[in-house]
């Protein structure tokens, strides 16, 4: 799988450079207030440097029109966006599928960031990216 380095494109202002895997297009399911089911396109990237999945607030609120679930103060310090400096404002549980394989649905918890106009739609952290087959599982020696 090809990779590109964020710092080259200046998309993120990171103190530490790390690599993101090539973005892929996905479809995300949402149900609007009028109970109409819709599927919207988004770009998914995976970042093995983070443990949690993150998604842009703008995508969640303006495009998907999904309600962001609040997090309590005890939970917030446990969520890290390693080196991104982004604040987490809540979470959403979303059902999605890859554009090329719409038979294999995924339901994933994404932590919603407060960043205005981020350069990403959604980013899968290491664990979920491994489960989806986007990155290889690293062997851990005991």
Domain assignment present for residue 86? The answer is yes
At 31 the pLDDT is 78
Instruction: Please report whether residue 71 resides in a domain.
Output: yes
Mean pLDDT of the chain: 76
Q: Are 126 and 48 in contact (CB under 8 A)?
A: yes
Residues 6+ apart with CB under 8 A from 92: 55, 60, 64, 66, 67, 68, 69, 109, 110, 112
Is 81 contained in some domain? yes
Note down the domain range covering 33: 3-132
| 142 domain residue, yes or no | no
Structural domains in the chain (count): 1
> Within a domain: residue 109?
yes
The verdict on residue 139 lying in a domain is no
Count of Cβ atoms closer than 10 Å to residue 41 Cβ:
11
The predicted model scores a pTM of 0.74
Query: What SS3 state is found at 89?
Result: strand
* Cα separation, 11 vs 5, whole angstroms: 10
| Continuous segment of H or E residues that includes residue 8 | helix 6-9
Round to whole Å and give the CA distance between 104 and 126.
19
Q: Does 29 reside within a domain?
A: yes
- Please, what is the Cα angle at 76 between 75 and 80, to 5 degrees? 115
% of the chain surpassing 70 pLDDT:
67
Mean per-residue pLDDT, 86-113: 86
Beta carbons of 56 and 115 less than 8 angstroms apart: yes
H helix or E strand, kind and range, residue 91: strand 88-98
In a domain, 137, yes or no: no
């Amino acid at each position: 799988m090809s990779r590109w380095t964020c710092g080259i494109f200046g998309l993120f202002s990171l103190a530490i450079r790390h690599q993101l895997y090539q973005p892929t297009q996905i479809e995300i399911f949402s149900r609007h207030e009028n109970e109409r089911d819709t599927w919207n396109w988004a770009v998914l990237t995976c970042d093995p440097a983070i443990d949690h999945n993150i998604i842009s607030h703008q995508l969640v609120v303006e495009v998907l029109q999904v309600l962001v679930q609040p997090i309590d103060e005890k939970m917030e310090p446990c969520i890290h966006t390693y080196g991104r400096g982004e604040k987490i404002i809540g979470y959403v549980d979303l059902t999605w599928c890859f554009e090329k394989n719409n038979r294999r649905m995924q339901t994933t918890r994404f932590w919603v960031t407060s960043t205005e106009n981020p350069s990403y739609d959604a980013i899968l952290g290491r664990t979920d990216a491994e489960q989806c087959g986007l990155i290889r599982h690293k062997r851990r020696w005991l």
